[in-house]
């Protein structure tokens, strides 16, 4: 099975790896004189907002980021003045502003793979009667950057921007499977620290999924993320520089039993990815 280049922490324009967490910010400030800590902290504020937590107050942001509340207050004030946050006087909370939306759409519009993949994804979604998605790693999560729904009445309530865990989803496991061993172990070590009690079960299921990838070319998540949801994932390296991405096809377990994933949907998703690769190479 193909291996991909190291892409989990790609270097920036001066060769330094990306900073993955606020814990690294202090270290970077000491060893990298060009590193702007205030900017890093401001971006962490923006990252704290999710579809599940669209509105947050300063106290919640302090708890989420670990930053002191006075620092949070200065950062939220600045981000609000710049239009990246908006403030509700009635609720005393912030939400992301339209300038963040503009940045997100600018990033998505530069991912040429989405335009090529979308019709193929929609065809598979209609055939399988479940959604097909494309995602990218964000720390220990995957984020949907494209999502095609089926016409089925029963479907998962996910969309572009949805964040799912790296270790228990087929998409996340596809990304892990495509990484070099050292990088994969690095991320698995951080997952173990995040969920120590659940980790033995998660690790065992990841190892099983890696073996399925070596055998079949795709990864599975059968009730691991949600007991009633099954999915298959395939990694993809984007020639346009978007990095290591992954496709998945997932839905209710009664529509996607394990055997259907293994014998039908998994091979079709592998073929979809190969067709996307071929189309992009000829553009």
Burial (CB < 10 A; 0-12, 13-18, 19+), residue 215, is: exposed
Is the Cβ–Cβ distance between 164 and 225 less than 8 Å?
A: yes
The answer to whether residue 8 scores a pLDDT higher than 50 is no
pLDDT at 47: 87
Q: What is the mean pLDDT of residues 209-225?
A: 96
pLDDT at 241: 66
* Alpha carbon of residue 121 to chain centroid: 18
pLDDT at 6: 38
pLDDT at 21: 54
Task: Assign 30 a pLDDT band (cuts: 50, 70, 90).
Answer: very low
CATH code reported for the domain at 36-102: 1.10.10.10
Q: What is the mean pLDDT of residues 218-247?
A: 91
If one compares 34 and 84, the residue with the highest pLDDT of the two is 84
pLDDT at 36: 84
Could you give the angle at the alpha carbon of 272 between the alpha carbons of 266 and 273, nearest 5°?
95
If one compares 255 and 239, the residue with the highest pLDDT of the two is 255
Domains 36-102 and 110-281 share a fold: no
Asked if CATH classification 3.30.450.40 holds for the domain at 110-281, the reply, yes or no, is: yes
Task: Assign 13 a pLDDT band (cuts: 50, 70, 90).
Answer: very low
* Domains of the chain, residue spans: 36-102, 110-281
Task: Assign 135 a pLDDT band (cuts: 50, 70, 90).
Answer: very high
Question: pLDDT tens for residues 66-117?
Answer: 899 999 999 999 999 999 999 999 999 999 998 887 777 667 666 788 889 9
Q: What is the mean pLDDT of residues 24-44?
A: 72
Question: pLDDT tens for residues 153-172?
Answer: 566 778 888 889 999 999 99
Q: What is the mean pLDDT of residues 222-246?
A: 90
pLDDT at 230: 97
The answer to whether residue 137 scores a pLDDT higher than 60 is yes
């Amino acid at each position: 099975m193909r291996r991909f280049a190291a892409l989990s922490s790609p270097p920036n324009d001066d060769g330094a790896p990306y900073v993955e967490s606020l814990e690294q910010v202090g270290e970077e400030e000491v060893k990298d004189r060009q590193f702007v800590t205030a900017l890093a902290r401001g971006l962490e504020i923006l990252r704290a907002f999710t579809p599940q937590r669209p509105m947050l107050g300063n106290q919640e942001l302090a708890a989420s980021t670990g930053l002191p509340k006075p620092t949070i207050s200065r950062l939220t004030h600045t981000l609000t003045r710049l239009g990246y946050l908006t403030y509700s006087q009635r609720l005393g909370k912030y939400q992301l502003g339209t300038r963040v939306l503009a940045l997100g759409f600018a990033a998505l519009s530069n991912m040429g793979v989405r335009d090529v993949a979308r019709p193929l994804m929609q065809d598979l979604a209609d055939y399988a009667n479940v959604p097909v998605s494309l995602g990218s790693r964000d720390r220990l999560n995957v984020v949907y950057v494209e999502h095609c729904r089926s016409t089925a009445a029963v479907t998962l309530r996910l969309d572009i921007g949805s964040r799912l865990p790296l270790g228990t989803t087929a998409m996340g496991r596809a990304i892990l499977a495509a990484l070099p061993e050292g990088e994969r172990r690095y991320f698995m070590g951080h997952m173990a620290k995040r969920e120590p009690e659940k980790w033995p079960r998660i690790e065992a299921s990841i190892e099983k999924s890696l073996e399925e990838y070596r055998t079949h070319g795709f990864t599975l998540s059968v009730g691991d993320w949600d007991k009633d949801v099954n999915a298959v994932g395939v990694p993809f390296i984007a020639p346009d520089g978007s990095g290591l991405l992954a496709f998945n096809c997932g839905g209710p377990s009664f529509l996607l039993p394990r055997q259907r994933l293994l014998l039908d949907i998994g091979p079709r998703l592998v073929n979809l990815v190969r067709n996307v690769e071929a189309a992009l190479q000829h553009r």
